[in-house]
Structure 1
């Protein structure tokens, strides 16, 4: 029986993926084996030593102490792509909001008064201030070609836009999903200089903080628009407001209201609605529940932000050890030596590494004695050892 603690309301559809005969799920419990979380700030929590995995029902993991968990040998899972369609739709809405000046136009309508005749006359006289432009033929630059960025780029191509993409770490799998009509920019500056619209889809790390700054805003084409549905600090807000006031940028569409942006006539800021659909919440919960279950039951790792991808089919009748260790030489050799001392035959083995961590799945022909497991735990650099089957 695995104990799963939830720190936020998690979609029932996701929780239903954890069978009652093998899992206990509750918001309050002692010694949980895993934690499922959405937005709760775990940096302030005393995370129990019993926790073997953390699952974030969403993409970003800023609210989880990932580095600390890595030192403990605890994988942190997320749900990349599960909310991609929801965010894509909001980005597309942002394109139309900016190109047709819908935000200022709505403010204009809300302030109308008088009878219908007076309102009609005011509308006819005032509508010329909100003349917009159409999207076909306009250029869109997409920075970050992950699950969301790809959907945005492909949708914009279908709208008739000229689309440029930039992602130095793009995976082969994502490349296969990208429309062949999307053009490749060689740098952020190259993309900014080619685009009238720029949509940001990158995580917030040191390298992306203030990625869009005063110098890069100057590179945008006339009537430039920036769409930020990633994280607020990726855009230098002070530089953005200055560019809007100077009329060098047409509009800023984002998901992150702030005091500096509030009330600006050419800013549309939604209240962090990117993934706020029932479908996205369900998809995220289902994905992360499946990943937690697979890890706890078989040791397999999929979509972890700190562990390597490691999937090894579990052979019938075998016993599996899942071993987390520092990524240093001769770890597999030392593990194999201890298993040999216990006269244990290795039926299958998978070893993967990521940064400072390495992860090994070992399938044995027979269950290991406690002395063999203890010996492996005693190897310098081993962070965790679990028997996950058999």
Structure 2
């Protein structure tokens, strides 16, 4: 038997996921730094010192992509403009690309992608406008030297920014959905707990009301059963009876609130250990092979323990039917004089089957725990090595006291 499904937690990212952005930034820097230096020195004929400085300022800031992409953009944007101006001082060659050489242009696109994955739309629009404005100004400055990259960078940049922004918004939406699911699961668990407590309170109403009724009857009949009572004692019994009747009325009003619909609800007696045989037989008729072992020396069991034992077995069998249909199940109820032990053990299903319910209500184990807490006992649940499940509840019995008065 399996328990109600536990809300799935999102697995924490592995170390490789955490370090992937920084690793990608290092790889891009290692790739573009020598390529940019060689491109500026060999293709555009810049001095070694100038080419080295431009390569460091154009490709070096890629190291900050994982944490400070906007800072990296400021440095790279200024360095690319400076590089375009420096290239103007050299004679044009046949295969020169100006104002944005190939290596800095591709590195700039990676920079825009990193920005799109981390920054807001307003920042992305400002970055794209600045890039387009710089491209347009440089193109107008030396239109005869410009040969296409002034248009390619804003165009490709817009595509990269749109793709990156879409990925970022999808990721944000997934994170918010996961957070909402977490909140919903917590609220559902809290609501389930409250529902179970209200259900237990409704069921215990009959138990407590019975004892209060006995107190009322005994207090009312005391002057007739004991004619030698003094006037003070008769008055005291009358006060006790009045207080008991008032308590019963308060309990009835509380019960109406707990039921929530203003009705009186069911009037059938609450089940107990003596009804377990019928419960197991009904489960067997439903197709679940179950057997019951009921100790013959249970003796008198308090109503709260009696009801809790029945409900625990009922919830455990219901879980077997829902989550492990066809599994052989054993139900045992024993007592050592100090506590009642309820044990429900089931094996794995006879053959691989899909559970009848893929998503439980979450009431089973919650209800068991609340009933065990009510009686001051303990609950032990968990899977077994063979694929089955075990539920063990220990419900303490009150110490033996003097026999009740007739």
Question: Greater strand share, 1 or 2?
Answer: 1
TM-score (norm 1): 0.24
Question: Greater helix share, 1 or 2?
Answer: 2
Q: Over alpha carbons, which structure has the higher Rg?
A: 2
